[in-house]
Structure 1
């Protein structure tokens, strides 16, 4: 398929995990991809892998000045955006009473503030027919001990999906979100370093497996494509049935 031929797609957190899988898929289907993240060396590696039709701009989404520079680069070199996948995020899992102010600020700064300004600062470059996909999480739907602030930021993401849908629909810009479950990424390994704990997560999933970044990328690509042209304000859960499974 070539759903994204002649389209320009921005992916934050695009050098690893779900962002990288989405970059590979959209690029394979014809998109020019703009990748941003905090680690310049990883972005360079991805750019070398993908070859042509790639622009990399190191940036921390929690810093609005760096987002401004990102969009200056996109405007100057590409002139527009058709797709934004606001994927960059971080996680800290610990009891609420143990969460530090610095950890709170980091979670909110990247997962909510960074995502919000990623979207709003992209708007001057998005044309009618554009699509925005936000990365939320299954944790907003079910209580998970140790995920208080992380889950709260993700609940805010889906609320933004709905409110921004209403705001941007008159401009012909669709907004949707994805809520991944347990996905095999470096971030999951860092957040849950104990292999036995990750195995316990796998056993919770009705389909019996941890998800793959490529499976989330498939959902993002659908929402960003013309095939989802009448889909707006929706959160697509990609979790193998985890959200609505009985709590064991």
Structure 2
């Protein structure tokens, strides 16, 4: 699919996984200016982008999304480099322990929320403050001053499976959806589009190495009507869609891409 995107993308967790593939998807749609943020190096992402797009411009920023000052500084650095932020993907997150409420430690619960919820909120707050200062890229009635996609999960819409009791993770993702809805309603009249992406299970390298017959992940895959987990590119393309004018009438949506897991 093609959306002919122009502007500046800001992606957290861009060094690997869905964040990395979101950068590739946005580049395929025309984006050539990227702020790529991660706690770890983003060298693989940068190398792939530069190999395929000779005119790409990249600002690499090391970032802990739970650090308020670092988040604010990263947005300031991006704007200093590119002048604006058009497409923000708040993707960085952690899975956390597979434990029920009676088992999980307070420190672990708070750690997951600090990254998956507070980190997303800190990034969105800094992005919104910047987007309110900038004008639309075009005069189209479908254009926005900026678009934000927050990373949620299908476990932000339903409870996790009984054999995957990720209490802290599910709590954080439900919270992201609530924040997305509240911000979307408040900021839409001011020209900022905010939505959430809710992936199901995604075939990351880590999960791919734990798919032996009879394993927890193998058993979860049997519950997916499509009969497989998503490839990272499939979720990344959904992110590109949410940033495009093709989704111009979607505000505060929780876009589920789970192979049918939640509709059973």
Q: Shared topology, TM-score over 0.5?
A: yes
Q: Which runs of 4+ in 1 moved over 4 A?
A: 186-190
Q: 1: distance between equivalents of 2:178 and 2:207?
A: 24
**Are 1:79 and 1:125, in contact at CA under 8 Å, matched by a contact in 2?**
no
Match of 1:109 among 93, 105, 114: 114
2:224 paired with 1:205:
yes
- CA deviations 1:149-206 (Å, max 9, x no partner) are 211110111111111011111211111111100111246469xx56321111110101
**Are 1:21 and 1:214, in contact at CA under 8 Å, matched by a contact in 2?**
yes
CA change 1:108–1:21 in 2 (3 A) is same
Q: How does 1:81-230 map to 2 (within 5 A)?
A: 81-92=85-96, 93-126=98-131, 127=134, 128=136, 129=144, 130-144=146-160, 145=162, 146-186=165-205, 188=207, 193=210, 195=212, 196-230=215-249
Q: 2: distance between equivalents of 1:25 and 1:227?
A: 15
- CA deviations 1:115-146 (Å, max 9, x no partner) are 00100011232244111111111112332231
**Are 1:181 and 1:238, in contact at CA under 8 Å, matched by a contact in 2?**
yes
**Are 1:90 and 1:187, in contact at CA under 8 Å, matched by a contact in 2?**
no
Q: 1: distance between equivalents of 2:94 and 2:190?
A: 31
For structure 2, list consecutive stretches of 5 or more residues without a partner in the other structure. 51-55, 137-143
CA change 1:85–1:232 in 2 (3 A) is same
Q: 2: distance between equivalents of 1:188 and 1:147?
A: 15
Q: 2: distance between equivalents of 1:173 and 1:203?
A: 39
Tell me which protein shows more helix as a share of its residues: 1
Q: Work out the number of aligned pairs and report it.
A: 240
2:41 paired with 1:22:
no
**Are 2:72 and 2:123, in contact at CA under 8 Å, matched by a contact in 1?**
no
- CA deviations 1:8-66 (Å, max 9, x no partner) are 011111111111111011012221121101002xx123212212322210101011121
2:9 paired with 1:9:
yes
- CA deviations 1:215-242 (Å, max 9, x no partner) are 1111111110011111111111000000
For structure 1, list consecutive stretches of 5 or more residues without a partner in the other structure. none
Match of 1:63 among 61, 64, 67: 67
Q: 2: distance between equivalents of 1:142 and 1:14?
A: 27
**Are 1:47 and 1:55, in contact at CA under 8 Å, matched by a contact in 2?**
no
CA change 1:224–1:169 in 2 (3 A) is same
Q: 2: distance between equivalents of 1:58 and 1:189?
A: 27
Q: 1: distance between equivalents of 2:176 and 2:156?
A: 10
When normalised by structure 2's length, the TM-score is: 0.86
CA change 1:2–1:162 in 2 (3 A) is closer
Deviation at 1:102, TM superposition (A): 2.1
